[in-house]
Structure 1
Amino acid sequence: MPLSEHEQRMLEQMERALYAEDPKFATALEGSGLRTYTRRRVYQAVAGFLVGIALLMAGMIFTQIWLGVVGFLVMLGCAVLAVTGWRKAPKAGERQGRGGPSAGRQHRQRRSMMNRIEERWQRRRDEQGH
């Protein structure tokens, strides 16, 4: 059962109040922290790649083949993480707000969030009523 118009307006008011009171928290809930997350993931992957190189070199210096293999696998895994993280990262000029190119996708995500909230609300009402 969808929210009534009054409930919809109340929810929109609460959303606007959250943006006004704590915009940083509101954008974190909205998922705009994706750029920071992917950037951090790429940096971690690069650091892991360097550790993999060190392990590979240590395996060669100490003639421990297993250590060289582990280093190579670490390098390979980190390279894959860095490349996938780099591709997922939003471009520098791309806005992630309501007016950006991904606004339609965010609108759909917000709608699905609204559907989940509506379902939870309905479940609570049903549990209290019975």
Structure 2
Amino acid sequence: MPLSEEELRLLEQMERALVEEDPKFASTLRGTSLRRTARRRAIAAGAVFVLGVCVLMAGAITNLWVVGIAGFVVMLGSATIALNAIRGQQAAAAADASRTAGHPSHGFTVIDGGRRPRRGRQARAGRSTSGSFMERIEERWRRRREENGGF
């Protein structure tokens, strides 16, 4: 259930008060631990990747193809985890940067109560179904540019 405007305002006031009273606790809640966790996960995945290379080489040296395949699977899994962790670390850093940029509560943001804009019958009725695919794509592109201020 989405929050009302008054509830959102009260939540923002409580967040500001928390930042003023206990800035150390507030900085803990900002998400720095997410970056740290992602970094640890990436480092651990790198170590497991090196272990997978060792297992792959051991399988190649001993002519046991099952061991070599197991080493490759370990390498593949750890590379996937490392890439996801690096992406998560970059996303957390970008979120921290966007949160702290000029926001009065110094890093806290108020989500719009989980609400998404609803597309009712009026929005659907304006949609043209007789146009070609490219015309519809161009119309969507024009709408996006208008909504984003020309960008």
Provide TM-score, normalisation by structure 1.
Answer: 0.58
Aligned residues with identical type, % of pairs:
42
8 Å CA contact 1:32–1:96 kept in 2: the answer is: no
Q: Which runs of 5+ in 2 are unaligned?
A: 103-107, 116-151
| Counterpart position of 1:50 | 50
CA distance in 1, matches of 2:61, 2:79: 23
Q: CA deviation at 1:99?
A: 0.3
- Give the gaps of 5 or more residues in structure 1: 101-105, 117-130
Aligned length: 106
CA gap 1:21/1:48 in 2 versus in 1, 3 angstroms: farther
> Structure 1 segments of 4 or more deviating over 4 A?
none
Hey, what does 2:36 align to over in structure 1? 36
In the alignment, the residues of structure 2 paired with residue 80 and residue 99 of structure 1 have an alpha-carbon distance, to the nearest angstrom, of: 32
* 1:43–1:96 distance in 2 versus 1, CA, 3 Å: farther
How many angstroms apart in 1 are the aligned matches of 2:22 and 2:30?
A: 12
Which residue is equivalent to 1:99?
Answer: 101
Which protein has greater RCO, CA pairs closer than 8 Å, 6+ apart? 2
1:96 Cα shift? 5.1
**Contact 1:27/1:33 (CA < 8 Å) preserved in 2?**
no
Aligned counterparts of 2:22 and 2:62: Cα–Cα separation in 1: 55
RMSD between aligned residues: 3.3
Greater Rg by CA: 2
**Structure 1 48/75 Cα, relative in aligned 2: closer, same or farther at 3 Å?**
same
Q: TM-score, normalised by structure 2?
A: 0.52
Which whole-Å deviations, capped at 9, do the CAs of 1:59-99 have from their partners, x for residues lacking one?
Answer: 233332211111111111212222333344328x9635420
